Amino acid sequence: MLQKFFLVIVAALCFLPNSAVAENSTPRIVVLPFEIFSQDESSSLADEIPKVIRTFLEQEGADIVHGTGEEMASGRISARDMQNIRNIGIKNGADYVIWGSLTRIGLQFSLDAKMVRSFDKQPPHAFFVRGDKMENLPTSVKNMARDMGLKIFKREKVLKVIISGNKRIEADAIRTKIETKPGDVYLARSLARDLKSIYAMGYFEDIRVEEEDGPGGKIILFKVKEKPTIRVIRIKGNRVYDDEEITENMTLKTGAILNIFRLNSNVKRIEELYKEKNYHNVSVKFKVRPLENNQADIDFMIEEGEKIRIKSIRFEGNSIYTDKKLKKMMKTSEKGFFSWVTSSGEFNNEDVAQDAARLAAFYQNSGYIKARVGDPEVRFEKDWIYINIKIEEGPRYKVGQVKIDGDLVASEEQLLKALKINKETFYNRSVIRDDVLALTDFYSDAGYAYADVAPRIKKDDEKLQVDITYLIDKGLRARFEEIVISGNTKTRDKVIRRELRVYEQGLFSGRRLKRSIRNLHRLDFFEDIKVDTPKGSADDKMVLKIDVTEKPTGAFSFGGGYSSVESLFAVFSISQRNLFGRGQLLNLKAQLGGTSNRYTLSFTEPWLFDIPLSAGFDLYNQKIEYDTYDKDSIGGGIRLSYPVFDYTRVYLSYNYDRADIKNISEDASDSIWDLEGINTTSSITIALKYDSRDQVFSPTRGQNHSFSVEYAGLGGDIAFTKYLAETGWYIPLVWEFTGFLHGKTGFVKENSDNGLPDYERFYLGGMNSLRGFDWRDVSPTEKNIFGDDVRVGGDKFVQFNAEILFPLLKESGLMGVVFFDTGNAYNNDEAIDLGNMRESVGYGIRWYSPMGPIRLEYGHILDPKEDEADGQWEFTMGTAF
């Protein structure tokens, strides 16, 4: 084993760099075999130990003399005869002779060696090493050889390494960069490497290396001078950006080490920042102001120059389309007269690159299949930017034969009906992409989740037409092996699963999967819904992973308003839309005003008996002070609903109301006096509702329609039939705008004398009907006994609302709205007159805030009467928990 150790040491020494520096000439050395005193067989060490010594000294620059075997033998025998030792050196022309012995007792060893000069009578120099384990012998031999080299080459050891001058940088941090350690050979080139390493730290302005003689070696001193730290950074001459905007984009901060390279780097950063706003003539310089305590202030002087705008956009090679037409396709534009308002002429590298792609797509979608648009050439000349775009239009190609080939799951005629390219006259790349998606969706609905649709284009340059063949590889029919739901800490799995239109072991369907995700969004239980469909255990299986992020579904809300009936009123509500994570709805509501109080408790179970049968009940207690009477009522109802068509449910409900009509004023109408006392209403309502909105609050697309009939007269004192119809359309517009059209109408008739009370008639006005008007302020009137007009409510009404909603701060959910409202209520003897409608216009904001929905809207009456104000503000607010 020791022999292997020695071989490793020798091999390593052979690859050491030659670091010898001869004093005058290369010394010649003879190393004799060592004597071994050991109880076991260790005779090989007699040659291995000298071999290590020879290799080390040779790498240090010595010339090793290899004597004859006879001389070595005589040296071993006569090791104590100093003259014989010198003679061996003289005979071989060696300057030095080295010999020694190894004594081993148990695990301990003692290594003794001597070195003598051949040509003088000085006593030999002795070297001695003792060790506890034989495994340490190779290292001990190497250390002894190093000590021999120090004597032969008259080198010195490093006694200490001292660092001085540092104030902020710790000495230990500097010491890690210094390779020279105490006990090493003192070498100037090693110190040079250490100097470079310390400079590379970037903290020092000056470094000096000094040496001092010590007892038995050298003391090395590294004297450093630290670079100053930055105390203050000042920005001067800036108008376009404020100081904070500039410093945020800089890597240089106060307290940092002053570094000239970082200063220059930050100059470039500031210049690039200005160029982003088209200040391409900007000039940035810096000045360093030295201070005491090794600190400095930095001043960045900025000459912004004038903003450069686009002077002209020119095209080369276009003949089919004019420059004006092509410029309309681009986001980038030339500087116009109102550029200070419209930002026309602004230059943006990304926009210019995308404009080239837009132009290419425009040509490709217009039949110019070979059209090529070159990279825009941008020139900066003084205060202007010039853009030149080269275009190769090529010929225009018509649509030729359209086919579908490959794996067909329906007849080719049926699949061709799903395409739009066969209705186009000229080749259109955008339409082809849409057709690929349409065919992919068609196949996905049949379970082929991995269907591949590739359009093959065949150009006929003579006829200038393109034949298009859609090649379809349907792949395997995929099934959902497993549906994995995660992220729901409150909502139960079954509440999510019952909204899905895809099922485990069921066939994949892209349409039904999209509908499933839309249903989950409509629950309004989740902030985010992520869907992934990785492959399952086989090629024809996939896993549906649904990861939801829940949001608060409880709400404490309040709102308020003003009306001629209520004056100021407030509405408070506590609700939970996902009670115990079961999807149940519980709501407690109180409306308190100057003339009315109403308390309501309602509960809804959307999936009774785990089928889509919705059931619920409502209880209420209400007191209202009308102009001519008071109404105290208590009542409730039960309701059921069930889906009958897509997005469509049928509703059935029963309601009971016990109303006490009292405090009737003398000027009340006869119909009010007829109601004095207790009046009970027992009614049943059937309704049909269609709701395809993509979300409940701030929908962007979909429809919401309903029709209902209420029949009262199942006992009680009140008997009437009421019809209501309502429609709402959400239409996506340009620029993320959404249009909303809403209409509502109703008709009620009494089924017996005095069977239709005033409070079942129709009144308009307020936030949810005609904004700008007071609550219940739009209705027909009749004369009382004093000849005054009093509102009595209509037996019919019409209402129409038109809105445009647009994002103000999209990320925050803040929306703006402008609206037009019109409508009216009519009495028994009046026909609906669309030319006699009350009208209002207005504006407002809507915010789906962290506290819940907030609406603040102002309505302006277009045709105010003498006793009406021009308009008013109304609001509702909420908070979530």
Inform me whether the pLDDT recorded for 861 exceeds 70: yes
| CB-based contact 2:45 (threshold 8 Å) | yes
Q: What is the pLDDT of residues 13-30, one digit of tens each?
A: 444 444 333 334 688 899
Report the percent of the chain where pLDDT is more than 70.
91
State the chain's mean pLDDT as an integer. 85
For range 505-533, the mean pLDDT: 90
In the sheet that 398-406 helps form, which strands lie side by side, from edge to edge? 398-406, 465-473, 452-460
Q: Which of 429, 426, 420, 310 is nearest to 360 (CA)?
A: 429
pLDDT of 18 reads: 42
- 184 pLDDT above the threshold of 90: no
Rounded percentage of the chain residues whose pLDDT exceeds 90: 40
- Does residue 653 have a pLDDT over 50? yes
Which residues fall within 8 angstroms of residue 591, CB to CB, at 6 or more apart?
Answer: 569, 570, 571, 572, 597, 598
Residues near 434 by Cβ (< 8 Å), separated by ≥ 6?
Answer: 420
User: Is residue 739 within 8 Å of residue 818, measured between CB atoms?
Assistant: no
- Written as six digits, the tokens of 573 are 């509500």
Q: Residue 467 belongs to what H/E stretch?
A: strand 465-473
Nearest to 169 by CA among 220, 209, 194, 205: 205
Among candidates 118, 130, 137, which has minimal Cα distance to 52?
137
Q: Which residues pair with 378 in a beta bridge?
A: 387
* Residue type, position 860, single letter: H
Instruction: Give the CA angle between residues 71, 72, 74 to the nearest 5°.
Output: 65
In a 3-state reduction of DSSP, which class is residue 106? coil
The pairing of strands 229-236 and 295-303 is parallel
Question: In sequence order, what are the residues at sequence separation of 6 or more whose Cβ sits closer than 8 angstroms to the Cβ of residue 89?
Answer: 30, 95, 96, 97, 116, 117, 118, 119
Closest by Cα among 592, 652, 647 to 622: 592
Q: How many C-beta atoms surround the C-beta of residue 80 within 10 A?
A: 8
State the Cα–Cα distance between residues 743 and 797, nearest whole angstrom: 11
Residue 37: the pLDDT is 86
Give the burial class of 218: count Cβ atoms within 10 A of its Cβ; 0-12 exposed, 13-18 middle, 19 or more buried. Answer: buried
- Angle (CA) 628-631-635 rounded to 5° is 160
pLDDT per residue as tens digits for the range 235-282:
999 988 988 889 888 888 888 888 888 889 999 999 989 888 888 888
Predicted confidence band at 720 (pLDDT cuts at 50, 70, 90)?
Answer: very high
- Closest by Cα among 698, 821, 818, 724 to 769: 821
Tokens of 222: 């590294």
DSSP character at residue 157? B
Which residue is associated with the tokens 């991995």? Answer: 450
Least confident residue range of 339-353, 518-532, 715-729: 339-353
| C-beta neighbour count of 644 within 10 angstroms | 9
For 184-291, list the strands marked E by DSSP. 204-214, 217-226, 229-236, 283-291
- Residue environment code for 289-322, b if the CB has 16+ CB neighbours within 10 A, otherwise e: eeeeeeeebbebebebeebbbbbebebeebebbe
Structure-token pair, residue 703 = 């429809």
> What local confidence, expressed as pLDDT, does residue 338 receive?
65
- Among 154-163, 507-516, 702-711, the range scoring the smallest mean pLDDT is 154-163
Q: Identify the bridge partners of residue 849 per DSSP, sorted by sequence position.
A: 852
**What's the pLDDT score for residue 881?**
39
Residue 319 has pLDDT above 80, yes or no: yes
pLDDT at 68 over 80: no
Alpha-carbon Rg for the chain, nearest whole angstrom, is 48
- Please answer whether residues 510 and 453 qualify as being in contact, where contact means their C-beta atoms are separated by less than 8 angstroms: no
Give CA–CA dist 552/646, Å, rounded: 28
Give the burial string for 349-372 (b: 16+ CB within 10 Å, else e): eeebeebbebbbebbbbbbbbebe
Chain centroid to CA 581: how far? 29
Residue pair 550/526 in contact (Cβ under 8 Å)? The answer is yes
Residues 580-591 pLDDT 10s: 999 999 999 888
For the stretch 816-834, pLDDT in tens is 999 999 999 998 778 888 8
Alpha-carbon span 785 to 789, nearest angstrom: 10
DSSP track, 849-863? ETTEEEEEEEEEESS
What is residue 8's predicted lDDT score, i.e. its pLDDT? 44
CA–centroid distance for 321 within its chain: 41
Element holding 87 (H helix, E strand)? helix 82-91
pLDDT tier at 213, thresholds 50, 70, 90? confident
> Distance between CA atoms of 575 and 588, rounded to whole angstroms?
6
* DSSP-assigned states of every residue in 591-646: EEESSEEEEEEEEEEEEETTTTEEEEEEEEEEEEE-SS-EEEEEEEEEEEEEEEET
Nearest C-alpha neighbor of 31 from the set 110, 129, 113: 113
- In tens, the pLDDT along 480-511 reads 999 999 999 999 999 999 999 999 999 999 88
What is the spatial distance between Cα 715 and Cα 772, in angstroms, rounded to a whole number?
40
Place of tokens 């038109």: 802
Q: Which residue has the tokens 């080269």?
A: 390
DSSP of 353-390 = HHHHHHHHHHHHTTT-TT-EEPPPEEEEETTEEEEEEE
Which of 362-366, 613-617, 825-829 shows the lowest mean pLDDT across its residues? 825-829
Three state DSSP letters for 398-446: EEEEEEEEECCCCCHHHHHCCCCHHHCCECCHHHHHHHHHHHHHHHHHC
Report residue 823 as tokens: 């409508």
Q: 329: closest CA among 391, 260, 268?
A: 391
Q: Using CA atoms, how far apart are residues 718 and 725, in angstroms rounded to an integer?
A: 22
Residues 6+ away with beta carbon under 8 Å from 210: 220, 221, 223
Distance CA(760)–CA(317), nearest Å, equals: 74
pLDDT of residue 17: 41
pLDDT band at 539 (very low <50, low <70, confident <90, very high): confident
380-433 pLDDT tens trace: 888 888 999 999 999 999 999 999 999 998 899 899 988 999 889 999 999 999
